[in-house]
Each structure stands twice: as structure tokens, then as C-alpha cells.
């Protein structure tokens, strides 16, 4: 009789742990939790193009000046990732910020700098201008003079 009660209690505990352990999985809030952890949102070049076309975005190129002068997305503002922390006053706080670089690494760093500084509407273009060009989207090419 005692062993049956112990088995019943154990069964209830196992079922309870299973139910509690599974609570919340598969809900739509999973993405929100990830965004809260990162503080910014990764977007594809296609999504970035749509954002730019909407005209309601501050486009931030965080590459070096020479890289920017060689080629950039029209309308972008260039602030090198290494200078970003000291030039935050040049980045508006009341706008959506879309960050890109050459391949996507420096823009992650820049997105984190912005989030750490209190910016809340930050997007990172995955793949950078290399992916942008590979997809055939327009860009400004500098002169070689």
C-alpha cells in the first residue's frame, strides 16, 4: 500500500514537472525574448531594402571612411564603429536605426553599442553591403580619383 502511494506521488510529480517544463514553449513570445536578450533585430537585405524604401529609417554605415567612399547605400551616414561611442550625438534617438557594414560583423558590434547606450529601435542588416550587392540592390560607387 505504501509503495503504491509513493508511485502515485512520483507519477504526479513527473507529470507536474512535464507540464510546468513545457509551459510557454512554442508561443509567439519566443522571438521577443531573443530580441530582448540581443536588444536589436537582425534583418535580411530584402527586409532592409523595404525599410529604406519606406523612408522612415536612419541608415548607419559603420565601416571606415575609405570603405564608405568606395561604395555605400544611398542615404547612409558614415560613422566608423570604432568612433561610434564618442559620436552617439549624431545618431537620432527618435528614429529607427538600420546598421550595416561590409559583411555583418562590425554592424553587430555597432548594434550592441547603440543598445547599450539606450537605443531601442535598432536593426542589423545581416550580410552587410556585400550581401546587398550580391542581391542586386543599388548602391553608390565612389570615384577612384
Closest C-alpha to 77, from 93, 57, 94: 57
Q: Cα–Cα distance between 82 and 104 in angstroms, integer?
A: 15
Instruction: Name the active-site residue from 52, 62, 101, 110.
Output: 101
Cell numbers at residue 97, please? 536605426
* 96 conformational bin, left if phi > 0, alpha if psi -120 to 50, beta if neither: beta
Burial of 5 (0-12, 13-18, 19+ CB in 10 A): exposed
Instruction: For residue 140, give the H/E element and its range.
Output: strand 140-141
Closest C-alpha to 84, from 42, 125, 113: 113
Residue 22 falls in the annotated catalytic set = no
Question: Which residues are annotated as catalytic?
Answer: 101
Amino acid at each position: 500500500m505504501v509503495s503504491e502511494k509513493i508511485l502515485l506521488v512520483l507519477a504526479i510529480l513527473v507529470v507536474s514537472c512535464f507540464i510546468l517544463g513545457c509551459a510557454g514553449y512554442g508561443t509567439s513570445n519566443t522571438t521577443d525574448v531573443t530580441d530582448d536578450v540581443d536588444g536589436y533585430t537582425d534583418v535580411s537585405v530584402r527586409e532592409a531594402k523595404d525599410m529604406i524604401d519606406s523612408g522612415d529609417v536612419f541608415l548607419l554605415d559603420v565601416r571606415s571612411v575609405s570603405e564608405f567612399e568606395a561604395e555605400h547605400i544611398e542615404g547612409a551616414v558614415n560613422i566608423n564603429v570604432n568612433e561610434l561611442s564618442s559620436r552617439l550625438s549624431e545618431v537620432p534617438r527618435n528614429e529607427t536605426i538600420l546598421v550595416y557594414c561590409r559583411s555583418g560583423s562590425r554592424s553587430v558590434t555597432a548594434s550592441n553599442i547603440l543598445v547599450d547606450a539606450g537605443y531601442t529601435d535598432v536593426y542589423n542588416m545581416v550580410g552587410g553591403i556585400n550581401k546587398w550587392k550580391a542581391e542586386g540592390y543599388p548602391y553608390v560607387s565612389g570615384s577612384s580619383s
